[in-house]
Structure formats: C-alpha cells, structure tokens
Chain A
C-alpha cells in the first residue's frame, strides 16, 4: 500500500487536483446558459473536444517497440479512431452551425 500512496502522490499532485476541480466548475459555468437551439451543436462540439484522447493514442503508438505487433496494431487503430472522433466531430458541428449562420 505504501507504493500506492507514493505513486498517487507523484501522479495526482495538488496542482492536478486544482485543475480537475476548476475544470469541473468551468464546464458547468460555461454551458449553463446555453439556449436549447444550440444543444445539439454544443453536444457535438464537446464530442469533438474529448477526441483529445488521440494525443494519448499518438504517445502509445510512438513508444511501441518496432517488434511489438499487438501494440502497433492496436495503437494504429487507436490513432485512427481518435482522429475520426476529432475530425468528424468538428466537421459535423461546423456543418450544423453553418446553417444557423446563413440567417444573418
């Protein structure tokens, strides 16, 4: 158990904890006044933002040893799917919002 608390200490420093708490409040604050007509684009935009997971996939892929085929194949899939999430998410959101824009 000592190892647990040591690594926990190392990993979740107070700084990280502050970031998490602040982001939770920020997330609530930022969207609490959104008009219902924007719910769908907003959901789609948020969907694109969590595609930031692709960074993790890139790191995994970049660290995989050249002979480790399972890691390479899964890493490749992960980067592909993550990119799909990012690109698809932003483009779909833009297409939705483009339609609102025409009105002005």
Chain B
C-alpha cells in the first residue's frame, strides 16, 4: 500500500468507528429508558465513546497529516480520567444532581475553548464555519456559566436573586450577544476584543439566566442546559464534518429538550413559566392561612401512633436527601414491619431535586421496588392509610395546588395525603418550601408536626418504636 491509500484507509476505518459510536449512542439512550436494560445501555454508549476517542487519536488525518502533540493529548486524557473517576466515585448519592450539573458545565467549557482556538484557523470568507464556531462558543459558554450557577444553587452556595426588569435585561443581553456574534461572523478580521467581549457577555447571560429560577426548578434547568451542551457539540460536529459529534450532539439536544418538557409536565408548568421565573416572581404568596395553629407531637406519641397503625405511608422529600436519612428511613420501615405494620412509600414525580431522585436514594438504601408507589397509585392508598409520615417534603403535598386558584403552584398534581387518618410532618422548621408559599396542610387538625433533622428524628423514632 502506498502512503496515500494507507491514509484513505485510515479515514475509512475512522468513519466506521464513528458509525459504531453513533449507533451505540442511540442504543444506549434507548436502553437507558428501560429499567432492566439501563445499566447495559450506559456501558454500551461508553464503549462506543471509547472507540470514537481512540480512533480519533490514531486515525484522524488531513491528507496524510496525522494529529501531533499526542503526548499532551494522552496527559490531558489521563488527568481527565483520573479526576473524573475520583469525583464520580466519591460523590454521595444525595449530591448527584449537582454533580451532573458540574459535568455538564465542563462539556460546555470544552465547547467554548474549541471555539476560541478554531476561530483563528478559519478564513473570514468561510462564513458558515464561522457561524458554527460562534454558535458553539456562545451556547457552550452559556451552558458553562449556567451549570455552575445551578450547581451552586443546589449546593446552597447561593440563593435565588430576583431584581426588577430581569426579563427585559435578559432579553436585551441576548440581543446584544446575537449582534456581537453577527459582527464576529461577518467581519473580515477577528478582533480579540470583540471575541472576549462576547465571551464575557455569554458568561454573564448564563448567570442571569439561572440565578432567578427557583431551586425547585433546577432539574428542569439542568436538563435544558444539558441539551444546550448537546447542541454545542453538534456545532463542533458541523465544523469538522464529524458524524459522531453531530449525531451525539443532536441526539442529546433533542432528547434533552423532550426530557425538559416531560419534567415540566410532571410539575404541570410551562417551560416559559419556569424560564421567566414565575415562581420566584411571587416569593411571598401568603394566603391567610398563617393564623392557624400548628400542633406539635412528641416523639413518643408519634412512635405509638405508627406502631399501632395498620398501614403507614412515607412521603420522602428533599429534607430526607439533605439529612442523608435514606438508610435510617429503611430501618424505620423494618422496625415497623416487625410490629406488623404495612409500610409503603409515596413518590411524587418531582420530589427532591430531580425527577427520580427519591427512587435513586431509596434504592441505595435497599428499599424494595414494589414498595415505591407512583403518585396515582399512592393517592388511592392514602385513603386506607392510618398514618402518613412526610419527611422533608412540602410543595408536593400542598393542598393549595388543588384548591387555591391564586396560588403559584395551582394545578400541579400533588400527593393527596389529607385523605389519610393522620399526618405527621417532619421538617426542620416552619420555613416554606422552594416555591416560597405557606402550606395549609400543616395547620389542619389531623396534622401533627415533628420538628428536627430527618435523620436524628428518625433515629429517635426507631428506638422509641423498638421500645414499645
């Protein structure tokens, strides 16, 4: 084989490698949507990714000119693998949502850096390449700074910041970003000042975009930013005419958008509402229920109530996750079952910080699958439950969603815990939930409050139950 045909051969092999990668991405996503095949699907996609990466390093060539700087590439890869493995393995299950957000931000930053380098490598007449580069740069940067803010909000490093005319400011900023992008694309020379101005504008936009959105909406935002990064990856795919990046990017872009819509549906809210921050626009929507009396219950009484119940339903929420109380919760379940009490869990689709968050947590604590009831099933079971124990959930059990038309969460499907005989609510304080509204449930005669950290309360409750 002469040199030329060897290079063409390498290019052909690489094309097959990318085809395999694209197929594994599609299969992986498909398998990830079924519980039995999910884990395998994830592995298949990972193998495809590996093939694509190794193929790129050794086979990618521009008419015989192969990639150089291999030593540095391997060093960066090794470093990424080391840090990635370490942080992914050590992160606690409760911190998963913010970890996903952080990894997403890294992908966005990667896309932005590619744009910053490549923009100097194209001729000013190659307008469509400039378009792909600039789009990747803008979307990647917004995704990066937005993800970092989402991460910060989930780790409670910063709270919601609402200021007047925010939406107008965001729209104005977007228009400026677009016009600067236009000048980058159509100007004959790349002016570094314009380029870095655009970068800063995008960073600021990402911050302003996520900062006002309420903490309860973070899953939606992360999912949206996830699809943004997908589109940024697809832009790079356009640029290099690289099919693996193109298919992977577009696939994640479209699947991510649908996932975002599905999440909004579970909360019965529109995406526009989430994005312009309708929740946080009405932060203190207090509806005259504040004057009611809250009844507290002692640990001993709560233990007796639960030990002599026939059926206890547990409603887990974010409070359970922050207190790392999933294992203790499982112990409570076992202690009650030893007393002959039937225990089930009612899982609201958006309980916690991400859809499915509670399922992941309880699965970690070895809670059996059939005990986790989805919303509709749970609402039927509440009718025959003696005690409902709410662990750090708030908005998902707020009756205002059903009967107060002026409430910002009106229309959101909730767990109808009021139909049970008794409700015990464990919360850290009377502070309102993420939607920032009071909960009439807490003032009802059948409701008793059990204040304290979920884990500590559960531990004490277990010893009381065992002593009974």
Contact = CB atoms under 8 A, between A and B. Distances in A.
Interface of A: 3-4, 7-8, 10-12, 16, 19-20, 23-28, 30-64, 66, 70-72, 74-104
A74 B368 CA distance: 48
Interface in B131-177: 132
A57 to B, nearest CB: 5
Contact of A59 (B67, B80, B254, B357): B67
B35 A100 contact: yes
Contacts, number: 386
Contact of B369 (A42, A63, A103): A103
B248 A49 contact: yes
Contacts of B347: 37
6 contacts: A3-B126, A45-B41, A51-B107, A52-B21, A52-B233, A83-B79
A40 B263 CA distance: 10
B295 interface: no
A60 B117 contact: yes
A92 B100 contact: yes
Interface string B244-275: 11111111111111110011001000000000
A63 B363 CA distance: 46
B81 A83 contact: yes
B360 A41 contact: yes
Contacts of B255: 27-28, 30-31, 46
A7 B110 contact: no
Contact of A58 (B39, B73, B230, B252): B73
Given A38-B35, A52-B245, A7 B129 contact: yes
Contact of A8 (B127, B245, B374): B127
Summarize A's interface: helix, strand, loop or mixed. helix
Given A52-B248, A79-B73, A46 B83 contact: no
Contacts of B355: 36, 39-40
B26 interface: yes
B29 A71 contact: no
A55 B42 contact: no
A66 to B, nearest CB: 7
Scoring B128, B219, B238 by chain A CB atoms within 10 A of each residue's CB, the highest score goes to B128
Summarize B's interface: helix, strand, loop or mixed. helix
Contacts of A48: 42, 45-46, 49, 103
Given A40-B354, A46-B29, A99-B93, 9 more contacts: A33-B33, A39-B354, A53-B229, A59-B242, A61-B73, A62-B67, A71-B117, A92-B99, A102-B366
Contact of B76 (A45, A55, A83): A83
Contacts of A40: 96-97, 100, 354-357, 359-360
A57 B113 contact: yes
Contacts of B332: none
B80 A55 contact: no
Contact of B360 (A28, A72, A85, A99): A99
B356 A37 contact: yes
B29 A30 contact: yes
B84 to A, nearest CB: 3
A49 B49 CA distance: 8
A38 B28 CA distance: 13
B53 A54 contact: yes
